[in-house]
């Protein structure tokens, strides 16, 4: 497939992807650094490039509520948010997933207040990791664009029917111009296809009730079907990754294994920091140090078996978390990875955690090197606390 090489910010790239999906409804409330994504999308509507009903609401709680109503009416629906806006959506995130409404949402990751901070970390999305949404994390504008397209296919698949978050780092990805390949509109829509809703509130021939009182007798059973939808999502995500790979030549998997085959020391990273880490890993490789990286793309559902299999036999694993679970033992990615590895008793490497980059603290190559140096010492038997902080004045 011939694709155009363009320079776009992450926000514009995702706006293009959403435009190519021809959503019926967009509902959104502005918040930095997401705002420019919906600005761009509104521009497409104003220019007649996409025929989407834009609902401007008074808060993110309303944005997600409007998205739920719209999607339940049978409309392909998009929204977007960041940080505090994400937090305000929180109650309705669960409702969207419980009602099995495949809303596609761009989450432009930003720190949570307080104190107020507009820069990137993953605190917002990690606060919604248990809400029942599929979570995809992007390293750059290309991945944000690609997942902006794939989100519709994954979420709307009849065996899945779950809402999907496309996560990309605020400012670092959202506001930085980056080179990426874009599919032509027709090819992108051919890939996504029209939305075939499972039910519609506007179908007066088949009236239904959604979201009724669900108490001790059936609530648990309904949660089971939601859990099973997440389990089924693995094979669907894999199949859509493959199909997208054939179409674009860009291969995707639940995670990217970067120089992992013969690695002894492994970093586990989500999002844009993975790009920085690749350069550091390349430098270490030139010096003969066997470092690799597992970059998690699909965090919900969490591909525990595949990750455990990729990491077992490694000498040491360093998990980097760009969010903190206050009072918890390490960050959310760390606890997940460690828990996954506990199953693989043949060769469970020591797993250490670094909390980094909170509130957008710059994470440069020196910091990544610091983690690699620490992991090398751990591999040689030096005792070290499992949970550590990186790039902060102590």
Stretch that binds other proteins, among 24-32, 199-207, 282-290, 294-302 (CB under 8 A): 199-207
Which residue, chain included where needed, has tokens 């698949």?
157
Q: Contact with other proteins (CB under 8 A): which of 207, 288, 327, 383?
A: 207
- Provide the minimum distance between the beta carbon of 256 and other proteins in the complex, in angstroms, as a whole number: 33
Structure tokens at 195: 């939305």
Nearer residue to other proteins within complex by CB, 186 or 204: 204
**Residues touching other proteins: how many (CB under 8 A)?**
22
204 binds other proteins (CB under 8 A): no
Structure tokens at 183: 């599919």
282 binds other proteins (CB under 8 A): no
Identify whether 33 is preceded by a cis peptide bond (ω within 30 of 0). yes
Q: What is the rounded CA–CA span in Å between residue 265 and residue 316?
A: 5
Are 266 and 172 spatial neighbours (Cβ–Cβ below 8 Å)?
no
Q: Contact with other proteins (CB under 8 A): which of 221, 261, 262, 286?
A: 221
- Provide the minimum distance between the beta carbon of 277 and other proteins in the complex, in angstroms, as a whole number: 40
Q: Contact with other proteins (CB under 8 A): which of 46, 91, 116, 225?
A: 225
x-or-dash pattern for other proteins, window 126-165, by CB under 8 A?
-----------------------------------x----
Q: Which residues of 18-37 are buried (b: 16+ CB within 10 A; e: fewer)?
A: bbbbbbbbbbbbbbbbbbbb
- Provide the minimum distance between the beta carbon of 95 and other proteins in the complex, in angstroms, as a whole number: 10
Helical spans, DSSP H, in 21-140? 35-46, 60-72, 83-98, 123-126
- Provide the minimum distance between the beta carbon of 223 and other proteins in the complex, in angstroms, as a whole number: 8
Q: What is the rounded CA–CA span in Å between residue 175 and residue 168?
A: 11
Phi and psi, residue 206, nearest 5°: -125, 75
210 binds other proteins (CB under 8 A): yes
Nearer residue to other proteins within complex by CB, 225 or 339: 225
209 binds other proteins (CB under 8 A): yes
Torsion sign (Cα): 249, 253, 256, 258: negative
Are 371 and 337 spatial neighbours (Cβ–Cβ below 8 Å)?
no
Which residue, chain included where needed, has tokens 């099995």?
100
Nearer residue to other proteins within complex by CB, 217 or 385: 217
Q: Contact with other proteins (CB under 8 A): which of 115, 206, 346, 380?
A: 206
389 binds other proteins (CB under 8 A): no
Torsion sign (Cα): 105, 107, 112, 118: negative
Q: What is the rounded CA–CA span in Å between residue 138 and residue 17?
A: 14
211 binds other proteins (CB under 8 A): yes
- Provide the minimum distance between the beta carbon of 213 and other proteins in the complex, in angstroms, as a whole number: 9
Phi and psi, residue 117, nearest 5°: -150, 130
Nearer residue to other proteins within complex by CB, 194 or 212: 212
Q: Which of residues 91-110 bind other proteins (CB under 8 A)?
A: 98-100
Are 180 and 120 spatial neighbours (Cβ–Cβ below 8 Å)?
no
Question: Which DSSP letter does residue 347 get?
Answer: T
Stretch that binds other proteins, among 35-43, 207-215, 279-287, 310-318 (CB under 8 A): 207-215
| List of residues contacting other proteins (CB under 8 A) | 98-100, 161, 198-199, 206-212, 214, 217-218, 220-222, 224-225, 228
């Amino acid at each position: 497939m011939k694709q155009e090489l363009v320079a776009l910010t992450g926000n514009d790239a995702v706006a293009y992807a959403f435009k190519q999906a021809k959503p019926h409804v967009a509902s959104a409330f502005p918040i930095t650094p997401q705002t420019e994504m919906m600005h761009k999308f509104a521009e497409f509507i104003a220019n007649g490039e996409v025929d989407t009903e834009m609902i401007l609401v008074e808060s993110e709680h309303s944005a997600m509520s409007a998205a739920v109503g719209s999607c339940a009416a049978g409309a392909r629906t998009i929204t977007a948010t960041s940080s505090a806006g994400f937090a305000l959506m929180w109650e309705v995130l669960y409702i969207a997933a419980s009602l099995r409404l495949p809303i596609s949402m761009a989450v432009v990751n930003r720190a949570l207040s307080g104190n107020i901070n507009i820069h990137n970390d993953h605190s917002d999305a990690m606060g919604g990791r248990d809400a029942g949404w599929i979570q995809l994390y992007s390293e750059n504008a290309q991945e944000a664009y690609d997942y902006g397209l794939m989100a519709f296919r994954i979420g709307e698949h009849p065996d899945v029917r779950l809402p999907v978050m496309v996560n990309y780092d605020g400012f670092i990805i959202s506001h930085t111009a980056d080179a990426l390949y874009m599919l032509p509109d027709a090819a992108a829509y051919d890939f996504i296809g029209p939305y075939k809703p499972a039910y519609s509130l506007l179908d007066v021939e088949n009236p239904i009730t959604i979201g009724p009182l669900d108490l001790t007798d059936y609530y648990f059973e309904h949660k089971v079907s939601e859990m099973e939808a997440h389990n089924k999502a693995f094979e669907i995500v894999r199949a859509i990754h493959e199909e997208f790979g054939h179409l674009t030549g860009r291969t995707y998997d639940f995670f990217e294994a970067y120089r992992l085959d013969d690695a002894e020391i492994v970093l586990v990273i989500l999002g844009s920091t993975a790009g920085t880490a690749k350069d550091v890993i390349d430098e270490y490789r030139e010096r003969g140090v066997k470092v690799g990286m597992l970059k998690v793309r699909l965090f919900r559902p969490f591909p525990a078996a595949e990750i455990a299999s990729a990491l077992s036999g490694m000498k040491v694993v360093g998990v980097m978390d760009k969010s903190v679970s206050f009072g918890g033992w390490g960050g959310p990615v760390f606890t997940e990875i460690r828990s996954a590895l506990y199953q693989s008793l043949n060769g469970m490497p020591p797993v250490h955690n670094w909390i980094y980059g909170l509130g957008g603290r710059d994470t440069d190559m020196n910091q990544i090197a610091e983690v690699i140096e620490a992991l090398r010492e751990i591999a040689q038997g030096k005792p070290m606390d499992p949970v550590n902080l990186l790039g902060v004045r102590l």
